[in-house]
Chains A and B, each alone.
Chain A
Amino acid sequence: MPFRRRATASIAACVLLAGPAVLWAAEAPPPATTRAASTAPTTAAAPTTTTAPAELPIPDANTFRAFDRPSDDGSAIIVEWAKPAKEPNGVSYVVEIARGEADFAAGKFKSIPVKKPTLKATNPKYFGFLASSNKTLYYLSVTPADHFPPEPTEKLTPARIDKLHQEGDLTSKQADRAKAALLTQQVEQGLVSAKRAASLPTEYAQWAKAAFLVRWFDEGSPTSEQVNKLLEEGTFTDPQAALARAMLARQQSESEDILGRAKRLVTDLKLEEDREQEANSVFGAETPEPRRAVRLMRGLIGDNVLSQQQAATAQEIVDDFQPEGKPALRLAGKLLEEKKLPDEQVAQLARMIRQSQEPDRILTKEDKAARKWFDRYRAYLSKTDQDEQKRRHQDVDGETYYVRLAATDGTRMAYAGRDGQPAVVSARARPDLLKSFRLNNLLFAVIFSAIVLAFIQAARRNPNLFIRKIAGLDAVEEAIGRATEMGRSVYFVHGLGTLSELATIAALNVLARLARRAAEYDTRLRVMNYEPIVTAISQEVVQQACIEAGRPDAFNADDVSLVANTQFSYVAAVSGLMVREQPAAVFLMGRFFAESLLLAETGASTGAIQVAGTDSYTQLPFFITTCDYTLIGEELYAASAYLSREPRLLGSLRGQDIGKVFLMAVIVLGAILLTLGPLLSRVGIDVGLFKDLFRAF
Chain B
Amino acid sequence: MPVPAASLKRLAMIRHVIYLLVAAAVIVPFIARLHVGDFQPGPHATKLYKKLDSLPAGTRVLLSFDFDPGSDAELTPMGLALLRHCFKKDLVPLVMTNYPAGLDLARKIMEDAVDDSQKLWGKKKVSGRDYVLLGFRPGQVNLVLKMGENLKTAFETDYYGKPTVDMRALKGVRSLKDLKLVIGISSSAWVETWIIYGADRFGFEYGAGATAVMAPDLYPFLDTGQMVGLLGGLRGAADYEALIKQRGRGTLGMSAQSAAHLLVIVLVLAANVRFVFRRLSGREKG
Contacts and interface: CB of A to CB of B under 8 A. Distances in A.
Interface of A: 297-298, 301-302, 311, 314-315, 318-319, 322, 324, 379, 382, 386, 482, 566-568, 593-594, 605, 607-609, 618, 628
A628 B122 contact: no
A550 B260 CA distance: 54
B8 A301 contact: no
B217 A628 contact: no
B153 A386 contact: yes
B156 A482 contact: no
B2 A609 contact: yes
Contacts of B20: none
Interface in B119-147: 121-124, 126
A568 B156 CA distance: 33
B2 A318 contact: no
B196 to A, nearest CB: 11
A568 B122 contact: no
Nearest to B8: A607
Contacts of A618: 213-214, 217
Contact of A315 (B122, B156, B188, B217): B122
B70 interface: yes
9 smallest A-B Cβ distances: which pairs?
Answer: A301-B122, A315-B122, A302-B121, A607-B8, A322-B124, A618-B213, A609-B2, A607-B3, A386-B153
Contacts of A301: 121-122
Contacts of A319: 124
B1 interface: yes
B28 interface: no
A605 B15 contact: yes
A482 B1 CA distance: 12
Contacts of A568: 70
A416 to B, nearest CB: 29
A318 B124 contact: yes
Nearest to A617: B217
Contacts of A628: 1
Contacts of B126: 322, 324
B262 interface: no
Contacts of B123: 298
Contacts of B68: 567
A566 B101 CA distance: 10
Given A301-B121, A482-B2, A605 B213 contact: no
Contacts of B214: 618
B12 interface: yes
Given A302-B121, A318-B124, A607 B213 contact: no
Contacts of A322: 124, 126
A629 B213 CA distance: 23
Interface string B44-77: 0000000000000000000000001010000000
Contacts of A605: 12, 15
A298 B2 contact: no
Contacts of A382: 153, 156
Given A318-B124, A386-B153, A618-B214, 19 more contacts: A297-B122, A298-B121, A298-B123, A318-B122, A322-B124, A324-B126, A382-B153, A386-B150, A482-B2, A567-B70, A568-B70, A593-B188, A594-B213, A605-B12, A607-B2, A607-B3, A609-B2, A618-B217, A628-B1
12 contacts: A298-B121, A318-B122, A318-B124, A324-B126, A386-B153, A567-B68, A567-B70, A594-B213, A605-B15, A607-B8, A608-B2, A618-B214
Among A301, A568, A607, residue most surrounded by chain B Cβ atoms (within 10 Å): A607
A358 to B, nearest CB: 14
Nearest to A382: B156
A583 to B, nearest CB: 12
Nearest to A304: B121
Contacts of B187: 594
Contacts of A593: 188
Contact of B1 (A298, A379, A594, A609): A609
